[in-house]
């Protein structure tokens, strides 16, 4: 069992548990972007979004809402980011599907997106055509 999240789920590694049920575990991120940054993960090892079944994704969305409400109410923040880094190129460090819930304050200095890019003439249509292809 090389997956660090599977080791945490099995109890072989310690973690600050925020939420725990039969299917999911939410823990504090040990290297948080901001205080209160947590990770929600399925207990079943699933590497990425494509490997997850629709029921798991729906259950995770319901838990994100529950945990997000806890962040707002209990930490007194006005909002939070929900992020999945899907694949190494997207910044996924642990190959076990997980959602980052990151509490936010106005003017906290975090910038989740770089400056927007513009499409060249005709480029959007080309990309759109590729995305519409089965």
> Quick one: 111 exposed, middle or buried, by C-beta within 10 A (0-12, 13-18, 19+)?
exposed
Nearest CA-CA partner of 101 in 125, 72, 124:
72
At a CB cut-off of 8 Å and minimum separation 6, what does 72 contact? 78, 79, 80
Give dist(CA 41, CA 88) in Å, integer. 17
Task: Look up 45 and say whether it is catalytic.
Answer: no
At a CB cut-off of 8 Å and minimum separation 6, what does 80 contact? 68, 71, 72, 101, 102, 103, 104
Name the catalytic one among 37, 96, 98, 100: 98
The pair of structure tokens assigned to 77 is 């923040």
Give dist(CA 10, CA 25) in Å, integer. 11
Tell me the catalytic residues: 98
């Amino acid at each position: 069992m090389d997956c660090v999240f599977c080791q945490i789920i099995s109890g072989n590694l310690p973690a600050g548990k925020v939420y725990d049920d039969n299917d999911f575990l939410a823990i504090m991120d040990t290297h948080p972007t901001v205080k209160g940054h947590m990770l929600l993960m399925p207990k079943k090892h699933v590497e990425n979004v494509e490997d997850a079944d629709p029921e798991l994704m729906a259950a995770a969305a319901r838990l994100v809402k529950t945990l997000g409400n806890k962040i707002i109410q209990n930490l007194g923040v006005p909002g939070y980011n929900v992020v999945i880094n899907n694949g190494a190129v997207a910044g996924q460090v642990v190959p076990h599907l997980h959602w980052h819930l990151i509490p936010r304050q106005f003017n906290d200095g975090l910038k989740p997106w770089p400056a927007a890019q513009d499409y060249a003439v005709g480029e959007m249509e080309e990309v759109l055509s590729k995305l519409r292809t089965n």
